[in-house]
Structure 1
């Protein structure tokens, strides 16, 4: 299996997960041209895609979805609530008949030789989910746009070989920054986004000897920067209640506009 972040940040998200024979995207919140360019860097094209998994209907996750789906007729997988929200908004334009496929939280969905497991997250969207994707015993997770985490989230992210995890903002930068009060409350709330500190605390509960790599993603352009997210998460891991130090693992930051290195599991 391979995991690669094509783009990750508050301005647009698109993650590739695939095997030798099955190729998926998680979200297409960037232009169709950028999606194609990112896939080309993996020696793939949009025509190779077997499905697009949508986490939720916010524009930074579906901006290029209509263009890519219409161009290739690639199936779109999302929860019933997300599908309704996308259709009601009209932001995707006219979509081909039968292109949407419903996924149900906590129920496995086979796509090619991969198994997709959606699970519920806390975010201010219609019916948002994160995804755990596996091939045999190898599994990766994509978990962003979570205001809080709980035992349910932890259980769904345990035992992964690789994980892309949200580290959206630095709390102090957000609090003293230029965002209006209502937006600060939204981001800091239970249906907002994980801070760097909270991401590190969650990671402490997920680390295990066979974890190959962690990518920190969905960084805010205004309220975070890569070095700060990395250092804060690493400090939480090293000082946290777990048997590991941050240096025991490969921890990287997924870039906003360029593809990450390919994670092989």
Structure 2
């Protein structure tokens, strides 16, 4: 399997996960032009995609979906609530008939040789979900837009080979930053976003010897920066009681406007 972030941040998200025979996107929150450019780096054409998995209907996860789906007519998979949100997002334009397919959390399904397992996440959207993807004894997950996490979340993220995990904001930067107070409350709330510290603590709960690649994603442009997210998550691991140290882990930070390394599993 391969994992690559084409874009990840508060302004737009698009993640590629694929095998030799199956190619998937998680979210299309950037322009078709940028998605195509990212796929080109992966030597994948838009028409070769087998599916688009949508986590939820917020604009930074779907704003490129209308143009992209009309061009390539790739099947789109999302929960019932997310599909309803997509249909009501007027700026997407007319969606081609028959492309939207409903999935249910905790009910795995197959696309080519990849098993897709949607799981529930805590975010202020209609029916948001993360995704775990399994193929040939390898597993990756995309887990962003988590206000909080619990034992259920941890159970869905165990025994992974790679993960793209949210590290959205630094709490102090958010507290003193330019956001209005209600928005600060939203971001820090149970249906908001994971802070750097909470991202590190969640990582501690799922670490094991075969988790080879950890990609921090969905960073806030106003309330975080890459080095701070990296150092904070690494420190949380080092100071915890797990049998790992932050400097021993392969942690990278996904760029807002640049494609990441291609992580081969």
Mapping for residues 84-233 of structure 1, pairs under 5 Å: 84-233=84-233
Q: TM-score, normalised by structure 2?
A: 0.99
Deviation for aligned residue 1:47: 1.1
Q: Deviations over 1:168-198 (max 9, x none)?
A: 0000000000100000000000000000000
Deviation for aligned residue 1:246: 1.1
Which residue in the other structure is 1:66 paired with?
66
- Secondary structure of 1:124's match? coil
Q: CA RMSD in A?
A: 0.6
Distance in 1 (CA, whole Å) between partners of 2:188 and 2:218 is 15
How many residue pairs align between the two structures?
Answer: 265
- Secondary structure of 1:205's match? helix
Deviation for aligned residue 1:213: 0.6
Distance in 1 (CA, whole Å) between partners of 2:195 and 2:151 is 18
- Secondary structure of 2:77's match? strand
Q: Deviations over 1:109-130 (max 9, x none)?
A: 1001100000000000000000
Distance in 1 (CA, whole Å) between partners of 2:166 and 2:241 is 20
Q: Deviations over 1:132-184 (max 9, x none)?
A: 00103100000000000000000000000000000000000000001000000
Distance in 2 (CA, whole Å) between partners of 1:28 and 1:122 is 20
- Secondary structure of 1:208's match? coil
Q: Deviations over 1:74-123 (max 9, x none)?
A: 00000000001110232321111110011100000100110000000000
Deviation for aligned residue 1:66: 0.8
Distance in 2 (CA, whole Å) between partners of 1:30 and 1:241 is 39
Which residue in the other structure is 1:245 paired with?
245
User: Which deviates more, 161-170 or 40-49?
Assistant: 40-49
Distance in 1 (CA, whole Å) between partners of 2:217 and 2:132 is 16
Distance in 2 (CA, whole Å) between partners of 1:70 and 1:88 is 17
- Secondary structure of 1:96's match? coil
Which residue in the other structure is 1:33 paired with?
33
Distance in 1 (CA, whole Å) between partners of 2:178 and 2:119 is 33
Structure 1 runs of 4+ aligned residues shifted over 6 Å read: none
- Secondary structure of 1:165's match? strand
Which residue in the other structure is 2:55 paired with?
55
